Amino acid sequence: MKAVGARVPRYDGVAHVTGRTVFVEDFDVPGAAWVKALRSPHPHAGIAKLDASAAERMKGVRAVVTAADVPLNVYGHLSALGIPGDEPLLAEKEVRYVGQPIAVVAAEDEEIALAAVDAIEIEYDVREPLFDVRKAFDPDAPQIHEWGNWYPHFEDGYDHRQIRKGDIDAAFDQADLIVQGVYRPAAIEQLPIETQVCQVVPEANGRLTIYSCTQALYFSMGVVAAHLQQPLNKFKFVGGTVGGGFGGKVDTATETLCCLLALKSCKPTKWRWTREEEFLCSSTRAPWHMEVADAVTKDGWILGRRMITLHDSGAYARFSPYGVTKHSFHHTGAYTIPNLHFDGWVVFTNRTPTSAMRGFGVTSVSFATETHMSRIAEELGIDPFELRLKNANRIGDTSPNGVVYTDPSTVPTILAIADHLGHELPADYRTMTTEPRSGDLLPDHLVAQLGNPEDH
């Protein structure tokens, strides 16, 4: 604990303020070709014709890469875990979101690269898109993904993430009141100030050196190696300096295509996304649709929660199943609810694929839970601080997925907030601790959920 409360020297502070920190694009790679992408203007369309020959013949164009040039085009961000791939590196037969890459060009300068993109001949067969997760399950909804409109590959053949705990029907039978709410936080762009950027240099020894702003260097190395069907020792990744990421640089956005163009042209390549591309084409935090119904008593106990979550994954799965799993484990927030019935789906839409952002999968449900706690307090006419303290996680309580809490921080956090706001509390709440439940704080309905912290 040497660092907590101490002034810890930054090893990069002086470099940052003297302009000497070398970000990916600050490396001078002489002769690097500019990379630009042909991207879909449609959220959902078939590709009826694709002909890049005119672009390839243009003066100053070094290489054009389409799906036909990719050794393994379809791969998934969860493929390393045995999940089938669903996302093509470059779209081949259809496009599923605005901005999806179809072809990439490497040219001597930016203007030629843009002109070459314009010279690629393409015809689309425009299809009806799906944008609303609530309509994805309708029989007449557009079918937008080969797996159907939701992800089907949770463990043991489940097509959604579910949690069952306690006796949900008994909880709702015993309730004095059912409090319901629907919560729909919108997509958020991570918005690093450094856009996605990559430089790739083919080396004389046959390897590629990749200067990458990725947040997940070894993951990106694996993704590139898989698409190129090459062993890992063909790639030297140089990274670690990230001009902001916030989750938006976990997905492998630029490296693979820069490598393919560098190999095809035998020359270095550089791809720096424009701000427009960053907004339009990079992954965002997902929009979520969450429906909550809580069985509550007049004196402020939450006996049970039924919840449905629809996670908008966009056009492909990427890491969304992982986000929904985390979401499900945290779906009671900082509070203990003994009887649970949770169903969460990863729903495909024709939006930009969504992925990691700070607190992946959890911030959405924290927003829903906290808003819902205040709604319950309002409906019951109970102080919202007292309602939270009463139901707060304590040592020995168990999480939705059965983990025993050994050091939950809800009580001290709520008390600190009340203290900071000058919110007065009765003595029995003011002196509450995080110690195991007993007496009035251990009513019958919370006995069965208790675990042994020693077993943790």
Residues within the interface to another protein (CB under 8 A): 7-23, 25-26, 28, 190-195, 215, 238-246, 249, 272, 274-275
What lies within 8 Å, CB to CB, of 453 at 6+ separation is 395, 396, 404, 405, 406, 436
Q: Between 27 and 147, whose beta carbon lies closer to another protein?
A: 27
Q: How far is the CB of 80 from another protein (least distance, A)?
A: 22
Q: Please answer whether residues 225 and 318 qualify as being in contact, where contact means their C-beta atoms are separated by less than 8 angstroms.
A: no
Strand bridging mode 87-88 / 33-39: unpaired
Q: Between 253 and 365, whose beta carbon lies closer to another protein?
A: 253
C-alpha closest to that of 219 among 200, 201, 203, 239: 239
Q: How far is the CB of 396 from another protein (least distance, A)?
A: 36
Q: How far is the CB of 109 from another protein (least distance, A)?
A: 10
CA–CA gap between residue 350 and residue 131 (Å, rounded) = 6
Q: Between 101 and 248, whose beta carbon lies closer to another protein?
A: 248
Q: Between 103 and 107, whose beta carbon lies closer to another protein?
A: 107
C-alpha closest to that of 151 among 314, 277, 263, 2: 314
Q: Between 93 and 275, whose beta carbon lies closer to another protein?
A: 275
Q: How far is the CB of 261 from another protein (least distance, A)?
A: 20
Please, where are the H alpha helices in 239-361? 255-265, 275-281, 320-329
In this structure, which amino acid lies at residue 448?
Answer: A
Which DSSP symbol is given to 332? T
CA distances from 79 to 75, 155, 308, 322, 352 (A): 7, 14, 27, 13, 20
Q: How far is the CB of 359 from another protein (least distance, A)?
A: 15
Exposed, middle or buried, 81 (CB in 10 Å: 0-12/13-18/19+)? exposed
Q: How far is the CB of 128 from another protein (least distance, A)?
A: 34
Q: Between 247 and 400, whose beta carbon lies closer to another protein?
A: 247
